[in-house]
Amino acid sequence: MTDTDFLEGQIILLDKPLDWTSFQAVNKLKYKLKSEFNLPKKFKIGHAGTLDPRATGLLIICTGKFTKIIPEIQDAPKEYFTELKIGVQTESYDTEKPEILQQDISNITEVKIKETLNKFLGEIDQKPPIFSAIKIEGNRAYDLARAGKEVEMKSRKTTINYIKDIEIELPFVRFTVGCSKGTYIRSLAHDIGQDLKVGAYLTNLRRTKIGDYSIENASSKFLENEFRFENFGKIDGVN
């Protein structure tokens, strides 16, 4: 693979590690590319869909002319492996913040959990977490929240296409969820807990698919010397 290949356009599938932001992953890969290939200073590169730092899994990075199709990839449906813990909450809806508001879950049954999960299938109204990258009057919501300021998040429409492979091992519930773009699985976990009236938060999130792209074809070695750019090729039909 040559510098021309990356300038013309490549789509690279990465398995983002825990606690890396999507921005950090792009910058790390950009540095690696520039150190190994003769690329211009303003080399085009970007990701097609943010993953939270506490999430792992599929992160699609486009280079060169393929950055034009980033919006198309972002519009594709997503799939996630999800684990939530019921009977307790966190302010961030995930493991970033400590547990609060513990509740008794002795009356929570598998039947009740599955009935609740079914309620979230189809189009739903969802409020994004206050600890999110959504901009409010020019400021990131998470910056406002971390500064202790009151943040009002507006509801938005999103679609849960399916919830499958449900495993219940209280207080943990695991499942695979397919959803439309813009869905916050952290909010889904929180809302499931609210419906159960005992609270819940996201303990594990791994993105496994974006459209036709799968985590099975992604590299987890992009921070190491084993990462080989020749594993990735162009997609036909993109100019």
Q: Which residues are catalytic?
A: 52
The DSSP string of the chain is --HHHHHH--EEEEEEPTT--HHHHHHHHHHHHHHHS---TT--EEESS---TT-EEEEEEEEGGGGGGHHHHHTS-EEEEEEEEES-EETTSSTTS-EE-----TT--HHHHHHHHHHTSEEEEEPPPSSSS-EETTEEHHHHHHTT----PPPEEEEEEEEEEEEEETTEEEEEEEE-TT--HHHHHHHHHHHHTS-EEEEEEEEEEETTEEGGG-BS-TTSTT--GGG----TT--
**Phi and psi torsions of 69, nearest 5°:** -95, 10
Q: Provide the residue type at 23 as one letter.
A: F
Residue whose token pair is 């950055």: 67
User: What torsion, rounded to 10 degrees, do the Cα atoms 178, 21, 12, 206 define?
Assistant: -30
